[in-house]
A and B are shown apart, each in its own frame.
Chain A
Amino acid sequence: MKSSDKKVLLEQYRKLIQIRLFEERAAEQYMLGKIRGFLHLYIGEEAIAVGAISALQPQDYLVTHYRDHGHALARGVEPNSIMAELFGKVTGTSKGKGGSMHLFDSSKRLAGGYAIVGGQIPIATGLAFAALKNGKNEIAMCFLGDGALNEGEFHESMNIAALWKLPIIYVCENNQYGMGAPVQDMVANPEIFRIAEAYKMKSVRLDGMDLKEMYTGMTDVVEYTRSGKGPYFVEAVTYRFRGHSMADPVIYRNKKEEDHWKTLDPIPKFKEWIFEVDSTLREEIENIEAEVELSIDASVEYADQSSFPSPEALYEDLYGSSE
């Protein structure tokens, strides 16, 4: 294996476990009362964010929904600032005023986690409009869940993106449930990727539990859209291992189903594949695991030690001054 390929693989594995460990620690901190409000975990779906986002360039725009920690981490946002945001601390990505569902990092062109189902889709479409007008070969990537497929904002945006040939990729993370509602009870077309055909938009279904397939598939999709051929719709099939949020007792699905999906866990699968390709990487993988664990522990410490925003922050960043 070429050393550049090796580097990509190891970096992708680092991101996978970074997200998994971050989410597990966040759940613990929620149980301890350090994190309040809503907390939606991405556990089980990591291969999608890592595969799709590692196919992007730094100048591309990234927009996502409220289950957004994985996308932010995959984009390279520091665990420290994300964890601090979850704690409501001034060192957080939004100085503590956004919270878990609203992660932003303009330096990484992460233009937000959005907590109204479907609300992010028109905005991402507008970023793609600007990217087209700016003429710098930038594209936008917009994540949405299967629940968002039934929002008007999705359909309005799909139509506009196709009409105007915007450089945008919509990635639908079909994790089988919109809160507790099974996707097959809520979406009329079981072949979700084919919904795009109504808009004459290219689309593909990818295995969201397989990082290798996600990455190669998304690399092709990104190349298509960046070359000016227009938007793309991707259905990534996956499963969320935990409840909708920490408040969800998960009474709407059975253990047999959950156990089946857990056999498809993207992390051991990818790790085994790495060893198949190059068994000499075992030590490097172990080092990465140890490093990531330390860094996530450190992020909890960092968030805990950080200060809450001062009272003056209440009215800060509400309005800017006129030019």
Chain B
Amino acid sequence: MVEMSYRQAMTKALREALLKDHSLYLFGEDIGGYGGSYAVTKGFLEEFGPERIIDTPISESAMVGVGIGAAMAGLRPVVEIMTINFALLAMDQIVNHAAKLRYMSGGQYTVPIIIRTVTGAGAQLGATHSQSLEGWFASVPGLKVVVPSDPKDALGLFRAVMSEQDPVIFVEHLLLYSSKGEVPEDDYVVPIGKAEVKRNGDEITIISYSRMVLVALEAAQELAEMDISVEVVDLRSLSPLDIETVLESVRKTGHALVVEEACRTGGFGAEVASQVQEFAFDHLDGPVLRVAGEDVPIPYSQPLEKLAIPTADSIIAAVKNMLGR
């Protein structure tokens, strides 16, 4: 095991991929000379050259479309969309084209594009730079969506998406880049569509993904000190969704709380909650509840921003309420 940051894990993942697969090209805004907005691709321009590390104009739609076309012709493009908010400018390409080309062509064309992007709030970036929109993509058939919460999963999942034949939205979280974790030194792979129990417990299951897993783990630690045993399931992929691992945990604990940073209404957590009650109703000792982002644009001011997204305290309160403790 070696300790590294989430940023270092992503840098390692991309560097490995560039060395291994010569059909791989990186596209993105300021990924070359600037080194990437979150410094993930720092040094790549010098190491791999402008032929493969391609700084694009601020044209999200064309950038993703170029990646789609390149993928259809047999290359393996990795397109970085600086933040998930900017993915809205490329929605036509992602949703209308990338997701549908295999199906609409009767399997004649495939689109092995990897779209890396950055989600989340918490850095006082204001409403247009703080959204958590990954759930939208998870509701589009034809796309795969992965949402790693720690360095081990970031590296392992990237290795997995490298052999995918379909478009993948690889969602990193802006507040995770500096977080650290233990990473195996071998060539392990984290399969897409496989959740992981990040903490074992037997009284309640918290289901979460991306940074909220860390917040849930923090809450679980505090709850343990109050003698409440919490199991934390990290989805790791939203599409395909590993509902079996979730159900297995819920059948054991009898309680399910879904925690997500995205707005509560229509969030991906609603889908998880719905499937839990659909497939594990007889095992539940109470309703499936959610702790989610408030239904507001994320405000700039720090105290307000903190109110808009889940915290360990809001999770603890929900758990205690659910268990009547």
Question: Residues on A close to B: CB < 8 A?
Answer: 61, 63, 92-98, 102, 104-106, 111-112, 114, 116, 118-119, 121-131, 133-134, 140, 152-153, 156-157, 159-160, 163, 316-323
- The answer to whether A156 touches B62, judged by C-beta atoms less than 8 angstroms apart, is yes
- The answer to whether A317 touches B69, judged by C-beta atoms less than 8 angstroms apart, is no
Q: Which residues of A contact B165 (CB under 8 A)?
A: 319-323
- The answer to whether A318 touches B102, judged by C-beta atoms less than 8 angstroms apart, is yes
- The answer to whether A129 touches B70, judged by C-beta atoms less than 8 angstroms apart, is yes
Given A97-B104, A131-B73, A316-B107, are A126 and B57 also a contact pair (CB < 8 Å)? no
B63, B75, B164: the one within 8 Å of A322 (CB): B164
Number of A-B residue pairs having CB atoms within 8 Å of each other in the complex: 152
Q: C-beta contact mask, B88-119 vs A, less than 8 Å → 1, else 0? A: 00001100110001111111111000000000
A105, A112, A127, A153: the one within 8 Å of B62 (CB): A153
CB distance from A245 to the nearest CB of B (A): 18
Any A CB within 8 A of the CB of B155: no
> Please, how many angstroms separate the alpha-carbon atoms of A92 and B73 in the complex?
22
Residue of A nearest to B96 (CB): A116
CB distance from B67 to the nearest CB of A (A): 6
Residue of B nearest to A104 (CB): B105
CB distance from A68 to the nearest CB of B (A): 12
Given A97-B104, A98-B105, A104-B106, are A123 and B97 also a contact pair (CB < 8 Å)? yes
Any A CB within 8 A of the CB of B141: yes
Any A CB within 8 A of the CB of B66: yes
Any A CB within 8 A of the CB of B184: no
Q: Which residues of A contact B164 (CB under 8 A)?
A: 322-323
- The answer to whether A119 touches B97, judged by C-beta atoms less than 8 angstroms apart, is yes
- The answer to whether B141 touches A318, judged by C-beta atoms less than 8 angstroms apart, is yes
Any A CB within 8 A of the CB of B142: yes
- The answer to whether B96 touches A98, judged by C-beta atoms less than 8 angstroms apart, is no
Q: Which residues of B contact A116 (CB under 8 A)?
A: 92, 96-97
Q: Which residues of B contact A316 (CB under 8 A)?
A: 107
> Please, how many angstroms separate the alpha-carbon atoms of A130 and B68 in the complex?
10
A106, A126, A152, A321: the one within 8 Å of B69 (CB): A126
Given A114-B97, A318-B141, are A105 and B69 also a contact pair (CB < 8 Å)? no
Q: Which residues of A contact B67 (CB under 8 A)?
A: 126
Given A61-B73, A123-B65, A153-B65, are A95 and B106 also a contact pair (CB < 8 Å)? yes
Task: List the 3 closest pairs (A to B, CB-CB), nearest first.
Answer: A122-B65, A126-B69, A130-B73
- The answer to whether B105 touches A102, judged by C-beta atoms less than 8 angstroms apart, is yes
Given A119-B97, A133-B75, are A124 and B69 also a contact pair (CB < 8 Å)? yes
- The answer to whether B64 touches A97, judged by C-beta atoms less than 8 angstroms apart, is no
> Please, how many angstroms separate the alpha-carbon atoms of A116 and B141 in the complex?
18
- The answer to whether B61 touches A156, judged by C-beta atoms less than 8 angstroms apart, is yes
Residue of A nearest to B25 (CB): A133
- The answer to whether A125 touches B92, judged by C-beta atoms less than 8 angstroms apart, is no
- The answer to whether A153 touches B109, judged by C-beta atoms less than 8 angstroms apart, is no
Q: Which residues of A contact B166 (CB under 8 A)?
A: 319-320
- The answer to whether A122 touches B109, judged by C-beta atoms less than 8 angstroms apart, is no
Q: What are 28 A-B residue pairs whose CB atoms fall within 8 Å in the complex?
A: A95-B107, A98-B104, A98-B106, A102-B105, A104-B104, A112-B104, A114-B97, A119-B65, A121-B65, A122-B62, A126-B65, A126-B66, A126-B67, A126-B68, A126-B71, A127-B72, A128-B69, A129-B70, A130-B74, A131-B73, A133-B25, A133-B75, A134-B73, A152-B61, A317-B102, A318-B141, A322-B164, A323-B164
Any A CB within 8 A of the CB of B163: yes
User: Which residues of B154-187 have CB atoms within 8 Å of chain A's CB atoms?
Assistant: 160, 163-166
Any A CB within 8 A of the CB of B275: no
Any A CB within 8 A of the CB of B37: no
Any A CB within 8 A of the CB of B56: yes
Given A126-B65, A127-B69, are A119 and B109 also a contact pair (CB < 8 Å)? no
Any A CB within 8 A of the CB of B200: no
> Please, how many angstroms separate the alpha-carbon atoms of A319 and B68 in the complex?
15
CB distance from A230 to the nearest CB of B (A): 16
- The answer to whether B59 touches A160, judged by C-beta atoms less than 8 angstroms apart, is yes
Q: Which residues of B contact A121 (CB under 8 A)?
A: 62, 65
Q: Which residues of B contact A63 (CB under 8 A)?
A: 69
Given A94-B105, A102-B105, are A126 and B59 also a contact pair (CB < 8 Å)? no
Given A156-B61, A160-B56, are A126 and B103 also a contact pair (CB < 8 Å)? no
